[in-house]
Amino acid sequence: MKKIYLVHPQKIGTIAPELYGHFIEHIGGVFYDGLWVGKDSPIPNIRGFRKDLVEKLKAIHPPVLRWPGGCFAETYDWRDGIGEERPTRISWWTGRDGRYEPNAVGTHEFMDLCEMVGAKAYFAANLTTVSPLHIRDWMDYCLSPRGTTTLAKEREKNGHPEPFDIPFWGIGNENWGGGGRMRPEFYADEYRRFATVLRNAAGDTEFYACGSDSEDYNWTHGVVPGLKDRRGRIDAEGFAMHYYCGKAGDPVAFTEEEWDELIAKAQKMEAIIKRNWNIICAHGAQDKLKLIVDEWGCWHPDGSGPSKGYNLFEQQSTMRDAMVAALTLNIFNNHCDKVRMANVAQLVNNLHCLFLAGGANCIVTPTYHVFDLYKGHQGAEAIQVIADDQLSVSASVKDGKLLVTVGNLSCREDATFTLESLGLSLAAKGKGRLLAHGDLHAHNTFEEPERVQPVDFEFDADQPVSLPKGGIAALEVEII
C-alpha cells in the first residue's frame, strides 16, 4: 500500500494559471487546416477558426496562447499580417514542409482567437532579422490608445479601434540556435538594446528573455548577469527556457522499456528547473526573473499522425504522451514558486498536440484530457506532497476544495494508495476522474475519436484508491 502525504501547512505558492498555456506556431498544419479553415469554408467556423476546436479549447480554460513562433517568429514581419492585401512569403519552415505563408492569420485574427477561448496573448517578437524600432512599431500598432498615433489609427481602420491586451512579450526565440546562433553574452546585449527601445511603448507588460535549451546551463550563466544594466537592475520578468523530452522508440508501437525511457527523460524537467533557478538565485535575480517554459513536450519521429507526414512534426498522442503531460504539469505545480508560465508544444497537428484536425475531422488527444483533468489547479495554492516514486503527484487548495492529481508512472503494475492529510480535515466522500486504458498504446483517431476518454467515479477519502498502470486521476474532495 502506497501513501500520498498532503502537508497543508507547507504551501509552495500560487499556481499561476499560465502554467497551463499553449503554443501555436505557423508551421505545418497548426494553422492552415488545423485552427484556421477560413471564413468561407463549409467547415463550421467562428470568424475563420474551426468551431469545434475553438469550443473544446475554451472548455479547458486555456490561460495563454503563445504566437507566432517558435522559429517562425525570427523571420516574421508583423506588417504582412494586417490589412486587406496580404503577401505570400517563404517562412522559416518553407524549406522543410514546402508550404508558403499566406498570412491569412495575423495580429487581428490571433487576437480574435484569444478572445474566443478566453486566453491571454503572448507575442514572440523577432529579434534576429529586424530592428528594435520594427517591434516598437508593432507595439505601437497594438497597444496605443484609440485615436492617438498614426499606427493606432491604422489599427482602427483595420477593424479594432481599442488597443489590444497583450500582457506578455518574448524578445527573441531560441537565439542559441535558429534565432541567430548567438553567444549568450551577445544575446544579452541585444536583449538590453531591444528592451530599452521597447519599454516606453509596452505599457504594463512582462518581457521575457530567451532562456536555455535543455541542459545548456552555460547559456543561463551567460545571459542572466548580462541582463543587468550598469546599476545592476534586470529589465526582464522571465527567462524563457525550452525542454523537449524527445522520443523513445516508435510513437505508437513502443515497448515497456521505451515507456520507462521516455518517462525518465520527462522527469528531467524537474532537475532542469531547479538548476536554472539556482543559477538565477546565484546572480541575485530571483526577485525579478521567473522561469518561463516556453516550449515543452515529446518529440517523436514524423509521420504517425493522420496526415501521414504531410503536416510537419505531426504525431499521434497515446496514453504515454498523456502520462508525460501529467508528470510535467505536476512538476510545474510543485515548482510554482519558480515557474511563471509554461506552454506545451503544440496545440494541433504537431508535437505533443491536444487536437488532430483535417478537413471535416477534429478530435482531441489523450493529452487534451490531461489538461481537462488538471484545470482546477489554475490559480490554486499548491501544497507540499510526499509520495512513492511510482506516483507523480501534485495537490492544491482553492475555494474550500482539495485537488490531487496523480499519475501511475508504471506501465507494468497497478497502484493502490491512501491520502494522508496533515493539517487538513476532509469530507468523507470525494469525486474523481480517471484517464486510463487497458492498452497503453491506445490513442484517438478520426475513425475512433473517443477510444481514450476519462470516466467519473466517487471515492472514500479515508480508504485506498486504486490507479491502473499508466493511469491518471484527478481527485477532488471538500475541506471541512
Distance of CA 10 to the CA centre of its chain: 27
pLDDT at 10: 80
Nearest to 331 by CA among 378, 389, 271: 271
Q: Kindly indicate the confidence band of residue 426, based on its pLDDT and cuts at 50, 70 and 90.
A: very high
pLDDT at 266: 98
pLDDT at 362: 98
Which residues have a Cβ under 8 Å from the Cβ of 260 and sit 6 or more positions away? 411
Q: Where in the chain is the domain with CATH 2.60.40.1180?
A: 384-479
CA atoms of 239 and 434, how far apart (whole Å): 35
Which tens digits make up the pLDDT trace of 281-323?
999 999 999 999 999 999 999 899 999 999 999 999 999 999 9
Q: Which three cell numbers stand for residue 435?
A: 484517464
295 annotated active-site:
yes
Q: Kindly indicate the confidence band of residue 8, based on its pLDDT and cuts at 50, 70 and 90.
A: confident
> Full-prediction pTM beyond 0.95?
yes
CA atoms of 93 and 71, how far apart (whole Å): 8
Q: Which three cell numbers stand for residue 331?
A: 512538476
Q: Which three cell numbers stand for residue 142?
A: 497594438
pLDDT at 419: 95
Average pLDDT, the chain: 97
Mean pLDDT calculated for residue range 171-194: 97
pLDDT at 202: 86
Is 1 a residue whose pLDDT tops 90?
no
422-to-5, 27, 460 alpha-carbon distances in Å: 7, 48, 17
- Catalytic option among 109, 190, 237, 295: 295
Q: Which residues pair with 479 in a beta bridge?
A: 426
Q: Kindly indicate the confidence band of residue 272, based on its pLDDT and cuts at 50, 70 and 90.
A: very high
Q: Where in the chain is the domain with CATH 3.20.20.80?
A: 16-379
Taken in order 105, 109, 111, 116, the sign of the CA dihedral is negative
8 A C-beta contact, residue 351 and residue 23: no
Q: At what angle do helices 256-282 and 217-226 cross, to 10 degrees?
A: 30
Region 384-479: CATH code? 2.60.40.1180
DSSP string, 301-325: PTT-STTTTSSTT----BHHHHHHH
- The architecture CATH gives domain 16-379: Alpha-Beta Barrel (3.20)
Which tens digits make up the pLDDT trace of 83-129?
999 999 999 999 998 999 999 999 999 999 999 999 999 999 999 99
Which residues have a Cβ under 8 Å from the Cβ of 276 and sit 6 or more positions away? 211, 212, 217, 220, 239, 241, 291
CA atoms of 201 and 250, how far apart (whole Å): 48
pLDDT at 9: 80
State residue 173 phi and psi, 5-degree precision: -135, 130
- Catalytic option among 18, 74, 174, 206: 174
302-to-25, 101, 315, 446 alpha-carbon distances in Å: 17, 21, 6, 18
Which tens digits make up the pLDDT trace of 118-161?
999 999 999 999 999 999 999 999 999 999 999 999 999 999 99
